[in-house]
Amino acid sequence: MNSYNCSFKIELDSEESIKKWVTAFNEKSKETMVYETCRNGKGKKVVKIFYLRCHHKQRQSGMHTKSNKKLKTTHKIHNNKHTNCPAQLMLTLLPPATKLNGFCVSVLLKHNHNHLVQVTDALRFRPLSEQSKKDYYDLFSHGHSPATAHLEYETNLMYSDKPYLIADRNCNPKVSDVYNLFNKWRKCNIGVRTGKYLFAELEKCVAVYNEEYNDIGGKAFIQRYSDCKW
């Protein structure tokens, strides 16, 4: 695998445009560089510096935080994701006064991954893209269950002009991801499966039903039992 360091400047001038550039960089390179930290620049020569790491390296902060416990658990499950990869990306936003030929962001890329990048074993850990989430939400809103949505989505991908994307979690979420997306979608669009909020949603449905069928005599009631804890 080729390892190299390189630095260059790009024509960007805001934090928002830097975030878009990083998203496009990850999409194009199939790497996943995530934000580690950012620091405000000292003096007038630097506005802000963004430090990114490869997502195959665990976060360095606090050893006893909840997030670290979660990471440790995740590490046990996906023990071949965290390879302590040293690859880094640093973007320095320069003030407009130092703008040279439109280049206002200085980039330092340390492309020294200790794992292969464009292989199934790495692609299966990439985060879900916003487009794949949107596609699944569309399928759910058309009446698909998680199982049928996954079948439909994966079949379409398989017969598309880019069938190799099926190995990339970014474009093809795992079954567990699909169920997580469905639960999120259902909570926003239908309501929860149990508890007091379910009955609140049911009461709304009954009210809508009665309003709709009032002219033809339809009438429904919902009654909560006195010993119901909700």
- β-sheet bridge partners, residue 110: 5, 88
Which is nearer to Zn ion, 112 or 180 (by Cβ)?
Answer: 112
Least distance between Zn ion and beta carbon 78 (Å): 14
Least distance between Zn ion and beta carbon 84 (Å): 9
Q: Which of 33, 52, 87, 181 binds Zn ion (CB under 5 A)?
A: 87
Q: Does 109 bind Zn ion (CB under 5 A)?
A: no
* Binding range to Zn ion, per CB under 5 A, among 12-20, 111-119, 133-141, 143-151: 111-119
Least distance between Zn ion and beta carbon 170 (Å): 15
Which is nearer to Zn ion, 106 or 112 (by Cβ)?
Answer: 112
* Binding range to Zn ion, per CB under 5 A, among 100-108, 110-118, 145-153, 222-230: 110-118
Least distance between Zn ion and beta carbon 111 (Å): 9
Q: Which residue has the tokens 């299966």?
A: 124
CB-based contacts of 198, cutoff 8 Å, min separation 6:
191, 192
Which is nearer to Zn ion, 28 or 142 (by Cβ)?
Answer: 28
Least distance between Zn ion and beta carbon 8 (Å): 20
Least distance between Zn ion and beta carbon 87 (Å): 4
Take residue 189 and report the two structure tokens written for it: 């669009």
Take residue 8 and report the two structure tokens written for it: 């260059």
Crossing angle (nearest 10°) for helices 130-141 and 175-189? 60
Over the range 102-135, which residues count as b (16 or more CB within 10 Å of their CB) and which as e? Answer: ebbbbbebbbebebebeeeebbbebebbeebeeb
Please give the C-alpha separations between residue 49 and each of 8, 95, 145, 222, in angstroms, as whole numbers.
Answer: 15, 12, 44, 58
Q: Which of 47, 81, 88, 113 binds Zn ion (CB under 5 A)?
A: 113
- The DSSP 8-state label assigned to residue 194 in this structure reads S
Q: Does 85 bind Zn ion (CB under 5 A)?
A: yes
Q: Which of 53, 56, 144, 150 binds Zn ion (CB under 5 A)?
A: 56
Q: Which of 33, 54, 89, 128 binds Zn ion (CB under 5 A)?
A: 54
- C-beta pairs of 223-226 under 8 Å, 24+ apart in sequence: 224/199
Binding site for Zn ion (CB under 5 A): 54, 56, 85, 87, 113
